Structure 1
Amino acid sequence: MVLTLGRRSRPGWAVLLFMGTAMLAIVPTTATSAAPSQPLADAALDAFLAQDDTARRALDPIDTLERGEDLPATRFVSLFEPALTAAQRARNAAALGRLARIDPASLDARHRISAKAYAAVLRDEEAMLSPAVADTLALTPLNPVGGLQVEYPALASTSGPDEADDAMTLARDRALPRVFDTVIARYREGMARGVTSPAPVVKTLIGQIDAVLARAPERSLFMAPASTGNKAGGSRKQTALLRQRRWQAYRAVTVKAVYPAYRRLRAFLADEYMPAARTSVGIDALPGGAQLYRALLRHHTTLDLDPGAVHTLGRAEVARIQREMDTVKTELGFSGPLPDFFAALRSDAHYHPRRPEDLASGYRSVATRVAEQAPRYFQRIPRTPLLITPHPAYRARFEAGGSYSPGSADGTRPGVFYFNTFDLKSRFLTGIDTLYLHEGAPGHHFQISLAQEDTSLPDFQRFGGNTAYVEGWALYAETLGYPMGFYADPMQHWGTLDDEMLRAMRLVVDTGLHSQGWSRQQALDYMLANSGMGRSDAEAEVDRYIADPGQAVAYKIGALTIQRLRAEAEAQLGPRFDLKAFHAQVLDSGALPLPVLEDKVHAWIAANKPAAPAPSPAPLSPAPVGPAPISPGAASSTAASGRE
Structure 2
Amino acid sequence: MRLLNEGREALQSWAAPYERLIAVMTAQRESAAAGDGVWRLPDGEAFYNARLANFTTTNLTAQEIHDLGLANVERIHGEMEAIMEEVGFEGSLQDFFAFMREDPQFYYPNTDEGRQAYLDEATAAIERMNERLPEYFITLPQHALEVRRVEPFREASAGKAFYSRPAADGSRPGIYYANLRDMSDMPIYQLEALAYHEGNPGHHMQLAIMTDLEDIPSFRRFGGFTAYSEGWGLYTEYLPLEMGFYEDPYSNFGRLAMELWRAARLVVDTGLHYHEWSREEAIEYLVENTPNPRGDATNAIERYIVMPGQATAYMIGMLKILELRERAESELGDDFDIRMFHEVILRDGAVPLAVLEELVDAWIAEVQAG
TM (norm. structure 2) is 0.92
Q: CA deviation at 1:490?
A: 0.4
Q: Distance in 1 between matches of 2:85 and 2:141?
A: 39
Instruction: Confirm whether residue 553 of structure 1 aligns to residue 308 of structure 2.
Output: no
Q: CA deviation at 1:289?
A: 1.4
Q: Distance in 1 between matches of 2:166 and 2:16?
A: 34
Instruction: Confirm whether residue 311 of structure 1 aligns to residue 66 of structure 2.
Output: yes
1:487-535 CA-to-partner distances (Å, cap 9, x unmatched) read: 2210110000101101100100111111111122211211111111133
Q: Distance in 1 between matches of 2:275 and 2:13?
A: 41
Instruction: Report the equivalent of 2:348.
Output: 589
AA partner of residue 292 (structure 1): F
Q: Is the 8 A contact 1:426 1:534 kept in 2?
A: no
Q: Distance in 1 between matches of 2:315 and 2:263?
A: 6
Instruction: Report the equivalent of 1:339.
Output: 94
Q: Distance in 1 between matches of 2:266 and 2:186?
A: 23
Q: Is the 8 A contact 1:400 1:537 kept in 2?
A: no
Instruction: Confirm whether residue 409 of structure 1 aligns to residue 172 of structure 2.
Output: no
Unaligned runs of 5+ residues in structure 1 are: 1-217, 219-246, 612-644
Instruction: Report the equivalent of 1:393.
Output: 152
1:285 pairs with one of 13, 27, 40 = 40
1:327-372 CA-to-partner distances (Å, cap 9, x unmatched) read: 1122233121101111222221122222323421221121111111
AA partner of residue 288 (structure 1): D
Equivalent runs, 1:33-44 vs 2, <5 Å: none
Q: Is the 8 A contact 1:346 1:426 kept in 2?
A: no
Instruction: Confirm whether residue 456 of structure 1 aligns to residue 215 of structure 2.
Output: yes
Query: Is the partner of 1:418 in helix, strand or coil?
Result: strand
1:559-606 CA-to-partner distances (Å, cap 9, x unmatched) read: 100111011111111111111111110001010111111011100000
Q: Distance in 1 between matches of 2:105 and 2:48?
A: 41
Q: Is the 8 A contact 1:383 1:411 kept in 2?
A: no
Q: Does 478-487 or 569-578 show the bigger shift?
A: 478-487
Query: Is the partner of 1:387 in helix, strand or coil?
Result: strand
Instruction: Report the equivalent of 1:541.
Output: 300
Query: Is the partner of 2:166 in helix, strand or coil?
Result: coil
Q: Distance in 1 between matches of 2:46 and 2:107?
A: 42
Q: Distance in 1 between matches of 2:132 and 2:310?
A: 31
Instruction: Confirm whether residue 447 of structure 1 aligns to residue 206 of structure 2.
Output: yes
Q: Distance in 2 between matches of 1:323 and 1:458?
A: 45
The 1:307/1:378 distance shift into structure 2, 3 A limit, reads same
AA partner of residue 189 (structure 2): T
Asked which structure has the greater CA Rg, the reply is 1
AA partner of residue 313 (structure 2): A
Query: Is the partner of 1:554 in helix, strand or coil?
Result: helix
Instruction: Report the equivalent of 1:126.
Output: none
Q: Which runs of 4+ in 1 moved over 6 A?
A: none
Could you say which structure has the higher helix fraction?
A: 2
Q: Distance in 2 between matches of 1:557 and 1:423?
A: 31
Q: Distance in 2 between matches of 1:394 and 1:267?
A: 25
Q: Distance in 2 between matches of 1:258 and 1:408?
A: 32
Equivalent runs, 1:425-436 vs 2, <5 Å: 425-436=184-195
Please give the root-mean-square deviation of Cα atoms over the aligned residues, in Å: 2.1
Q: CA deviation at 1:255?
A: 4.5
Q: CA deviation at 1:481?
A: 1.3
TM (norm. structure 1) is 0.54
Unaligned runs of 5+ residues in structure 2 are: none
Q: Is the 8 A contact 1:377 1:580 kept in 2?
A: yes
AA partner of residue 96 (structure 2): F
Query: Is the partner of 1:609 in helix, strand or coil?
Result: helix
Q: Quick one: higher RCO (CA 8 Å, sep 6+), 1 or 2? A: 2
Equivalent runs, 1:342-361 vs 2, <5 Å: 342-355=97-110, 356-361=115-120
Q: Distance in 1 between matches of 2:216 and 2:135?
A: 25
Q: Distance in 1 between matches of 2:103 and 2:18?
A: 39
Query: Is the partner of 1:488 in helix, strand or coil?
Result: coil
Q: Distance in 1 between matches of 2:277 and 2:116?
A: 39
Q: Distance in 1 between matches of 2:325 and 2:163?
A: 25
Instruction: Report the equivalent of 2:334.
Output: 575
Q: Distance in 2 between matches of 1:468 and 1:562?
A: 10
Q: Distance in 2 between matches of 1:256 and 1:458?
A: 45
Q: Distance in 1 between matches of 2:13 and 2:59?
A: 44
Instruction: Report the equivalent of 1:368.
Output: 127
AA partner of residue 460 (structure 1): F
The 1:406/1:347 distance shift into structure 2, 3 A limit, reads same
Q: Distance in 1 between matches of 2:39 and 2:177?
A: 33
The 1:420/1:608 distance shift into structure 2, 3 A limit, reads same
Q: CA deviation at 1:274?
A: 3.0
Instruction: Report the equivalent of 1:267.
Output: 19
User: Share of identical aligned residues, percent?
Assistant: 39
1:66-92 CA-to-partner distances (Å, cap 9, x unmatched) read: xxxxxxxxxxxxxxxxxxxxxxxxxxx
The 1:380/1:251 distance shift into structure 2, 3 A limit, reads farther
AA partner of residue 421 (structure 1): L
The 1:269/1:513 distance shift into structure 2, 3 A limit, reads farther
AA partner of residue 355 (structure 2): V
Q: Distance in 1 between matches of 2:69 and 2:366?
A: 34
AA partner of residue 577 (structure 1): F
Q: CA deviation at 1:418?
A: 1.2
